[in-house]
């Protein structure tokens, strides 16, 4: 029982409750991972067979860390726990049961790029406008349908869906979905959404399979339960139906992935599914200072939908949270960069102790420019990952085709790379012949003379023979030996080696790095099957957190708040706290969306360990135009006792000539951004960030604006009094450009603006 030492009473109680339904509400920094791992260790130590325990996570990294901790606590038995991401665990089950659904056991897993490539080909074949049917939009539409367990047949039969599609001019979406599903099935491929969709289908169509896994997984644990979607929720509910030994762990205050299907109601309503539920709350934050925790609590208290908890910290009170007002987005970048430089030099910190978090990727520009001017090393997270580089995807496509020759996307990628005289026309003929004869493209490739005319037939035959030879090698050799053979004999390694440019050398080194990774995999003692097929399964299921395989360098971290979830840093800068940016403009018309934005701010704040700085700009360039900005409403929700306000940068004047004047001033500034800022004055203390916020007139009530005209004077609840400058668009989407006396010019959508007409 040594593994229970060091747990606080709440953590220990959650670990010891092994039977029946359990929900652990884990506040930020409350030791959630430790509780999950110790609970699994306690189950094993109590005599539960590790084979009967299933632990579902959202990243492979989290699963690896948990397994290592469990092994440290109870030994090698931990290897037998079924632990991994939803996708990796259910891919493992599907490989065993795939034949029931008509798939090969070696099915390919398509990543997002593969799926969009298939969709682009379908749109081209159907002669559809790719501006109306944008591949990203179509992909997201199909993904949303699958996550809600809507098959292509149900999609086409749903009157409401069809009405929405036709009213938007996208009446072919149902047909695209059908063609995409058929194309993937023919290629022996599943996309990421299919791994959940097909698991649900398997458990629904085959009661014996459901019963088999219900009895196998006698104990279930789900991490980050607030991030589950409907498809994941249903699988977990089905698997737990017999034993009901299910434990979910999460924090509703950190539910920030609705845009990709996560449903916060899964955790909010968990008790309705299990009336005998036992609830444990982990409320002690071990990460952040008291002031940071207090700020986070004051923010999230404004949400109506939440599971109440009292998060506290026993660490030192810490610095107050500094709120900085900048003149512009470039000025914001400048004061953040200088703040990092000063903190590092005066407190002996490392660059990697700092993180800059923002709502959108576009905000990184001003931060990057400022950091470069001060020679501060930085790294942007969420960029191109190692496995998304072209040369890596090329070699992996060879691996995929060797393992599953029906993989059409892999075939199209490598059949003429390196060049072997099989051009686009020949590839089109292969695919056309496959469609006409109701066979796979691979069946055409292995019998080219039967289906393809012309001299390309010989080259196609040579290609087929090469892939078949690779398949023999792959079955008889380790992953590394097979991978090296394919890299060499495909001609890919030679092609990259002969490119002596800097880019060519980098690409060659990247291939070497991939082969090094495969060699490490082949030498691991904890894996019995060291084949290339198993390695490829691991690669296909990598999450974003796993794909950057380079060690952490001493650099400042730049990332969106979504990317920062699960991370922590000594000093965090949260930038761009402005209305229409954070919260985003799209969230302002829905309480549900606004509450998710507030949870996103809560996540940003709770990434900080010892110091937190928040900033906003009073003007910002948007689409080449300088616009006036107002502070985010979220700033007003923070208890002023915990704030230190730095308002040394002058706010944007409320004059119509401001933008022209500032363009002129900026053109004359030269290198002023690289010069030291003047010494800051004593911070201003006030009970509100918006000290001059407009107070609505007594009895304020929005008017009927259907007959609003240019020149009329109006009042807005937050922006104050203004005059209508112009109106554009048609009902019901008329936009009004209004010049407000206090904040300058803004454009508002009338149906949402809630204006009072003064005269």
Q: Is 32 labelled as part of a ligand binding site?
A: yes
Q: Report in angstroms the alpha-carbon separations of 195 from 94, 107, 108, 175, 605.
A: 8, 11, 11, 22, 34
Q: Is 30 labelled as part of a ligand binding site?
A: yes
Q: Is 14 labelled as part of a ligand binding site?
A: no
Distance, C-alpha 254 to centroid of its chain: 14
What count of residues does the chain have?
A: 759
- H or E stretch covering 335: helix 329-347
Catalytic residue, chosen from 223, 251, 407, 597, is 223
Q: Which two tokens stand for residue 567?
A: 């991370």
Catalytic residue, chosen from 170, 309, 315, 607, is 607
Catalytic residue, chosen from 194, 224, 332, 579, is 224
φ, ψ of residue 106 to 5 degrees: the values are -100, 35
Q: Is 28 labelled as part of a ligand binding site?
A: yes
Q: Is 26 labelled as part of a ligand binding site?
A: yes
CA-based torsion, 622, 628, 630, 631: positive or negative = positive
Rounded distance, CA 565 to CA 568, Å?
Answer: 8
Helix (H, G, I), strand (E, B) or coil at 108: strand
For 583-608, b where at least 16 C-beta lie within 10 A, e where not — what string?
Answer: bbeebeeeeebbbbbbbbbbbbbbbb
φ, ψ of residue 278 to 5 degrees: the values are -105, 130
- Pairs from 367-370 (Cβ < 8 Å, separation ≥ 24): 367/333, 367/336, 367/337, 367/558, 367/575, 368/333, 368/558, 369/330, 369/333, 370/330, 370/333, 370/334, 370/336, 370/337, 370/338, 370/673
CA-based torsion, 443, 444, 449, 455: positive or negative = negative
Q: Report in angstroms the alpha-carbon separations of 284 from 58, 299, 618.
A: 23, 17, 37
Is 224 annotated as catalytic? yes
Helix (H, G, I), strand (E, B) or coil at 406: coil
Is 607 annotated as catalytic? yes
CA-based torsion, 617, 744, 631, 305: positive or negative = negative
Rounded distance, CA 142 to CA 122, Å?
Answer: 14
Distance separating the N- and C-terminal Cα atoms of the chain:
76
Catalytic residue, chosen from 17, 33, 265, 745, is 33
What is the largest distance, in Å, between two alpha-carbon atoms of the chain? 85
Rounded distance, CA 484 to CA 480, Å?
Answer: 6
Q: Is 117 labelled as part of a ligand binding site?
A: no
Q: Is 31 labelled as part of a ligand binding site?
A: yes
- Do residues 689 and 636 make contact, with C-beta atoms less than 8 angstroms apart? yes
- Do residues 473 and 485 make contact, with C-beta atoms less than 8 angstroms apart? yes
φ, ψ of residue 555 to 5 degrees: the values are -135, 155
Is 428 annotated as catalytic? no
For 703-717, b where at least 16 C-beta lie within 10 A, e where not — what string?
Answer: eebeebeeebebbbb
Q: Which two tokens stand for residue 251?
A: 């924090």
Distance, C-alpha 242 to centroid of its chain: 33
Q: Is 29 labelled as part of a ligand binding site?
A: yes
Q: Which two tokens stand for residue 375?
A: 């020679």
Is 33 annotated as catalytic? yes
Is 212 annotated as catalytic? no
Catalytic residue, chosen from 32, 146, 170, 598, is 32
Rounded distance, CA 572 to CA 349, Å?
Answer: 13
SS (H, E, C) 509-560: HHHHHHHHHHHHHHCCCCCCCCCHHHHHHHHHCCCHHHCCCCCCCCCEEEEE
Rounded distance, CA 130 to CA 279, Å?
Answer: 50
Q: Give the orientation angle of helix 456-476 with respect to helix 390-403, to 10 degrees.
A: 80
Closest among 512, 453, 465, 523 to 489, alpha carbons compared: 465
Catalytic residue, chosen from 59, 199, 254, 648, is 254
DSSP string for residues in 658-727? HHHHHHHHHHTTTTGGGSPPPPPPPPB--S-S-TT---PPTT------TT--TT-EEEETTTEEEEEEEE
φ, ψ of residue 621 to 5 degrees: the values are -80, 135
Annotated binding site: 26-33
Catalytic residues, which ones? 32-33, 223-224, 254, 607
Q: Which residues are annotated as a binding site for ATP?
A: 26-33
């Amino acid at each position: 029982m040594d593994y229970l030492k060091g747990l606080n009473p709440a953590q220990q109680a959650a670990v010891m409750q092994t039977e029946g339904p359990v929900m652990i509400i884990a506040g930020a920094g409350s030791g959630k991972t430790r509780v999950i791992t110790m609970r699994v260790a306690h189950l094993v130590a109590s005599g539960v067979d590790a084979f009967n325990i299933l632990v579902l996570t959202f990243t492979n990294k989290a699963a690896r860390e948990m397994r290592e901790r469990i092994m440290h606590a109870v030994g090698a038995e931990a290897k037998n726990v079924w632990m991994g991401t939803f996708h990796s665990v259910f891919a493992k089950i599907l490989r065993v049961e795939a034949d029931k659904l008509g798939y090969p056991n070696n099915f390919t897993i398509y990543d997002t790029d593969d799926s969009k490539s298939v969709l682009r080909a379908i749109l081209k074949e159907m002669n559809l406008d790719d501006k109306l049917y944008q591949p990203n939009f179509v992909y997201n539409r199909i993904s949303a349908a699958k996550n809600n367990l809507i098959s292509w047949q149900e999609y086409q039969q749903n009157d409401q869906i069809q009405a929405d599609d036709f009213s938007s001019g996208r009446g072919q979406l149902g047909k695209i979905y059908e063609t995409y599903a058929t194309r993937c099935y023919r290629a022996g491929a599943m996309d990421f959404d299919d791994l959940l969709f097909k698991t649900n289908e398997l458990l629904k169509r085959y009661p014996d399979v459901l019963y088999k896994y219900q009895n196998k997984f006698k104990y279930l644990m789900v991490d980050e339960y607030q991030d589950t979607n409907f498809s994941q929720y249903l699988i977990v509910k089905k698997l737990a139906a017999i034993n009901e030994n299910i434990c979910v762990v999460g924090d509703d205050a950190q539910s920030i992935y609705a845009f990709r299907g996560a449903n916060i109601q899964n955790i909010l309503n968990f008790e309705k599914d299990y009336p005998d539920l036992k609830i444990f709350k982990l409320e002690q934050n071990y990460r952040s200072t008291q002031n940071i925790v207090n700020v986070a609590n004051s923010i999230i208290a404004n949400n109506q939908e939440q599971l109440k908890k009292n998060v506290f910290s026993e660490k030192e009170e810490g610095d107050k949270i500094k709120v900085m007002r900048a003149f512009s987005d470039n000025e914001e970048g400048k004061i953040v960069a200088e703040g990092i430089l000063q903190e590092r030099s005066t407190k002996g910190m490392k660059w990697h102790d700092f993180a800059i978090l923002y709502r959108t990727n576009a905000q990184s520009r001003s931060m990057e420019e400022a950091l470069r001017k001060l020679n501060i090393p930085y790294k942007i997270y969420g960029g191109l990952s190692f496995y998304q580089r072209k040369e890596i995807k090329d070699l992996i496509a060879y691996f995929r085709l060797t393992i599953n020759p029906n993989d059409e996307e892999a075939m199209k990628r490598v059949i003429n790379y390196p060049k072997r005289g099989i051009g686009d026309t020949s590839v089109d003929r292969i695919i056309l012949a496959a469609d006409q004869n109701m066979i796979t493209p691979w069946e055409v490739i292995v019998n080219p003379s039967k289906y393809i005319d012309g001299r390309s037939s010989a080259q196609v035959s040579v290609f087929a023979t090469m892939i078949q030879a690779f398949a023999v090698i792959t079955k008889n050799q380790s992953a590394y030996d097979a991978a090296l053979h394919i890299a060499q004999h495909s001609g890919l390694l030679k092609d990259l080696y002969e490119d002596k440019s800097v880019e060519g050398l980098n690409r060659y080194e990247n291939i070497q790095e991939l082969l090094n990774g495969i060699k490490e995999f082949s030498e691991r003692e904890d894996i019995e099957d060291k084949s290339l097929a198993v390695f490829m399964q691991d690669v296909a299921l990598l999450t974003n957190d796993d794909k950057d395989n380079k060690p952490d360098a001493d650099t400042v971290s730049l990332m969106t708040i979504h990317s920062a979830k699960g991370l922590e840093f000594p000093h965090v800068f949260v930038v761009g706290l402005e209305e229409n940016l954070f919260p985003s403009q799209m969230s302002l018309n829905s309480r549900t969306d606004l509450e998710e934005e507030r949870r996103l701010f809560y996540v940003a704040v709770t990434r900080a360990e010892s110091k937190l700085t928040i900033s906003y700009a009073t003007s910002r360039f948007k689409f080449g135009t300088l616009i006036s900005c107002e502070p985010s409403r979220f700033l007003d929700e923070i208890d002023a006792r915990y704030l230190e306000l730095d308002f040394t940068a002058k706010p944007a004047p409320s004059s119509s000539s401001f933008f022209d004047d500032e363009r002129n001033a900026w053109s004359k500034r030269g290198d002023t951004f690289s010069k030291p800022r003047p010494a800051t004055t004593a911070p201003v203390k006030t009970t509100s960030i918006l000290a001059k916020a407009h107070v609505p007139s007594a009895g304020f009530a929005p008017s009927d604006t259907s007959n609003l005209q240019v020149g009329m004077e109006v009042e807005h609840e937050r922006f104050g009094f203004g005059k209508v400058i112009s109106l554009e668009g048609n009902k019901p989407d008329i936009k009004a450009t209004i010049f407000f006396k206090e904040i300058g010019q803004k454009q508002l959508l009338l149906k949402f603006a809630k204006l009072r007409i003064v005269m």
